Amino acid sequence: MKRAILASLCLALFAAAGVAQNWSQFRGQNASGVADGKPAPAAWDATKMSGVRWKTAIPGLAHSSPVVWGGRVYVTTAVSTEAKPAARFGLYGDVDPVKDEPKHTWHVMALDKLTGKVLWDRVASEGTPKTKRHPKATHASSTPATDGKHVVALFGSQGLMTCYDEKGKLLWKIDTGVLDAGWFYDPDYQWGHASSPIIYKNLVIVQADVQKDSFIAAYDLKTGKQVWKTMRDEIPSWSSPTVVEGKTRAELITNGTKFIRAYDPATGKELWRLGGNSEIATPTPIFSRDLIYVTNGYRPIQPIFAVKAGTANGDITLKDGKETNDAIAWSKQRGGPYMPTPIVYGDIFYVVSNQGVLAAYNAVTGERLYQERLAGKGGAFTASPVAADGKLYFSSEDGDVMVVKAGAKYEFLGTNPMGEVMMATPAVSDGVLFVRTKDHLYAIGDAPAAAPAKTKATKGAK
């Protein structure tokens, strides 16, 4: 009898573990930004610790997003010997980098998902940054990626990529070359690398659009050994790559200034390219409804493209005056976001501008459904939106998370104070928002349900 009870308990535990919602990379699986399946919060006040499960201080300065796998949350950070590293946030267009940077240590950290306790903290590198950064940027802006067994972190200013196991054991460390991204008009304006690595099957894929010798490359997940490398005739960009597994083939999609490109993720061979982009490429490509969405918002060119997955070959650039062709389902010449990656939730494609103007489109046809300023006032937005439980979440540099009900009509649900600048995109897992502010990581959500009381049948079971 006891064995039967024990077996049932084990099965229940395995089932619970099996349905844990993972958020494995920047914006989760395929950068979708969506994590449905559990009720998610609509109202909280982190300044009063209302609706907050836990809050953990994270040292240093970093805009990398948290990732979640099983019972762990992983973050990276760069810790300066300066008490207050130079940083400036808000809406401005200055191009000067931070001039002097002291010694740093670069960290990869694991936290307990339920309590926020730091489980391990590893120093991946230490020394003086090899490039400068923009005042709004950091030396740890690339979000890590994980498959539950490997935790991969990229630190571009050091030309370093590391891989740890879930317990914090170093598995490998490789030199990618210093990734120097900045203003293409003058290489002295170094702004910092931010593109995040992704894991696809047995590969770690890195997009490195830099001042000289841009490339995209794949490395063996187990060993770090380079599998393939394709040079890119590109100027610096800050977008992360996305792998789209369509009905006919897999496509590795990259956003770039000269061309939006697709590659074979197994070999690095270019499949197609699309011109007509803006000079600074930041939003990450996303995939939904058999369409690949790629956007940009650096004025005056602010395109939105919806490319048919698995159909394009060669140069698919639109002819002058055209909005569609055999490979492009719909497009817009205006309306693309400059910094935040867009999101498709349900049948609707949402875009938010740096100033907090939210626009919604029919995801299949491109018909605009509405355009509204968040909370009637907007704000400063760099983090990308995420969605769960019928709600969209927008994290502002002003210290608020704004919530909008998903749907064809604009319905604002509320403003939730965090009390700190937010540059990183939240992660969502099992109905909990993991929100990284300038100095902390928060778990936002209702308190977990209490464990069921033991019954007579389970008492004494071992």
Averages of pLDDT over each 10 residues, the chain, 462 residues: 41 44 96 97 98 98 98 97 89 88 96 98 97 95 98 97 98 97 91 97 98 97 98 97 95 98 98 95 96 95 97 97 97 96 98 98 98 97 98 98 98 98 98 98 81 44 36
pLDDT at 19: 56
What pLDDT does 83 receive?
79
- In this structure, the number of other CB atoms found within 10 A of the CB of residue 135 comes to 16
C-alpha neighbours within 13 Å on the C-beta side of residue 22: 14
Task: Please compute Rg for the chain using Cα positions.
Answer: 22
Q: What is the pLDDT of residue 184?
A: 87
Tens digits of residue pLDDT in 281-306: 999 999 999 999 999 999 899 999 99
Strands (E) located in 46-103: 52-57, 67-69, 72-80
Tokens read off for 376: 């009637």
Q: Three-state DSSP class for 56?
A: strand
Q: Which residues of 422-439 are buried (b: 16+ CB within 10 A; e: fewer)?
A: bbbbbbbbbbbbbbbbbe
Contact criterion met (CB below 8 Å) for 157 and 139:
yes
Contact 340, 354 (CB under 8 A): yes
Give 242's contacts (C-beta < 8 A, 6+ positions apart): 30, 31, 198, 252, 253, 284, 285, 286, 287
**In this predicted structure, what is the pLDDT of residue 260?**
98
What are the residue boundaries of the structural domains of the chain, listed by start? 22-444
Judge whether 68 and 29 are in contact, CB under 8 Å.
no
Residues 6+ apart with CB under 8 A from 91: 354, 355, 380
Distance CA 279, CA 296 (A): 9
The whole-number pLDDT of residue 4 equals 43
SS3 7: helix
| DSSP symbols for 373-420 | EGGGT-----SPPEEETTEEEEE-TTSEEEEEE-SSS--EEEEEE-SS
3-state secondary structure of 121: strand
> What pLDDT shows up at residue 462?
32
Q: How many alpha carbons lie under 13 Å from residue 352 in its C-beta half-sphere?
A: 28
CATH number for the region 22-444 comes to 2.130.10.10
- At residue 5, the pLDDT reads 40
Rounded to whole angstroms, the Cα distance separating 125 from 181 reads 20
Residue among 210, 216, 214, 209 nearest 251 (CA): 216
Q: What is the pLDDT of residue 185?
A: 86
